[in-house]
Amino acid sequence: MTVGEGAALAGRVALITGASSGIGAAAARVFARQGATVVLAARREDRLSELAAELRARGAEASHRTLDVRDGEQVRRTVEFTVERYGRLDAAFNNAGVALPRTPMHLIDDTDYDRVTETNLRGVWNCLRHEITAMLETGGAIVNTSSVGGLVASSTAAPYIASKHAVIGLTKAAAVEYAPHRIRVNAIAPGLTRSEMIDDWFARSPENEARAHRSAPQARAADPEEVAEAAAWLCSDKASFVTGATLTVDGGRTAW
Ligand SMILES: NC(=O)c1ccc[n+]([C@@H]2O[C@H](COP(=O)([O-])OP(=O)(O)OC[C@H]3O[C@@H](n4cnc5c(N)ncnc54)[C@H](OP(=O)(O)O)[C@@H]3O)[C@@H](O)[C@H]2O)c1
């Protein structure tokens, strides 16, 4: 891998959660290409180790840790691992998340509600607290993955929509509170993006795909790299005056 022109993340140490597939795996490649040392985290060890090996083979510095973001203790150990191994934490992309099969709100059971909110909201909470602790002296940049579902509602996804709205709230709260420590905290709100989550959804009903494409002016799904590029930019000094923001990467979906 050639570290690209400008190498916006050269010398930065970045932790990426949800790095075993989709947007997070694309982010691992984009961040590494832009010069970052990356620590990849998720639950599927085989995926992480394969991706870390791929990045190292291309000349990047990459490690992986298995992690369930719902468990604050595991998050703490992952952040500690990063700081012990690489000396500091400069950037974090809190991207791990889950969705449910689309279900009317009154039929969703509490276990599913808990799984979504524990992963998407408490997971970001757990990550933020330990990452901020590690960045207090040095400053840094954090990006949380929300969704267009964090800005507008759609039917039959209530826990997901609530959790992604809350991620934007947490992002703003952290941005305001830690600006004096030179820690920037932003969110991205992706629209429809090709990933396992979306491929599963399309596989269940081919009509879903055509309908989803019609929901945005650009009328297609994003490649995960297009979303990862936005996260990398927010983590870089090129976004030095951007904090507390939510950047839509949605093909115009929320402009309609
Ligand atoms: N694809 C879209 O259209 C879209 C749109 C808006 C927002 N998003 C958001 O983008 C993020 C990434 O999703 P994706 O689309 O790339 O789907 P994906 O391929 O299913 O990726 C989800 C990632 O989250 C990880 N993860 C899930 N639960 C976890 C847990 N408890 N602990 C640690 N890691 C966990 C998964 O890894 P393991 O299973 O290995 O743990 C996987 O790496 C999510 O937050 C999602 O809500 C996606």
pLDDT exceeds cutoff 60 at 66: yes
Average pLDDT (150-174) is 98
Q: What is the pLDDT of residue 202?
A: 84
- 3-state DSSP assignment of residue 6: coil
What atom in ligand 1 is closest to the CA of residue 148? Answer: 6
Amino acid at 2: T
Phi-psi region of 100 (alpha: psi -120 to 50; beta: other; left: phi over 0): beta
Q: What is the pLDDT of residue 3?
A: 60
Q: Is the CB of 246 within 6 Å of ligand 1?
A: no
Residue 139 · residue 182 · CB < 8 Å: yes
End-to-end CA distance of the chain: 39
Q: Residue whose CA is closest, atom 2 of ligand 1?
A: 193
Q: Is the CB of 114 within 6 Å of ligand 1?
A: no
Q: What is the pLDDT of residue 6?
A: 59
Q: Is the CB of 40 within 6 Å of ligand 1?
A: no
The count of C-alpha atoms lying within 13 angstroms of the C-alpha of 104, restricted to the half-sphere facing its C-beta, is: 2
Structural domains in the chain, CATH included, are: 13-255 (3.40.50.720)
pLDDT grade, residue 201 (50/70/90)?
confident
Q: What is the pLDDT of residues 220-252, one digit of tens each?
A: 999 999 999 999 999 999 999 999 999 999 999
Q: What is the pLDDT of residue 199?
A: 85
Q: What is the pLDDT of residue 133?
A: 98
Q: Verify whether residue 113 is a known catalytic residue.
A: no
Mutational test site, ligand 1, from 43, 246, 253, max ligand atoms within 8 Å of CB: 43
Q: What is the pLDDT of residues 101-142, one digit of tens each?
A: 999 999 999 999 999 999 999 999 999 999 999 999 999 999
pLDDT exceeds cutoff 60 at 211: yes
Q: Is the CB of 69 within 6 Å of ligand 1?
A: yes
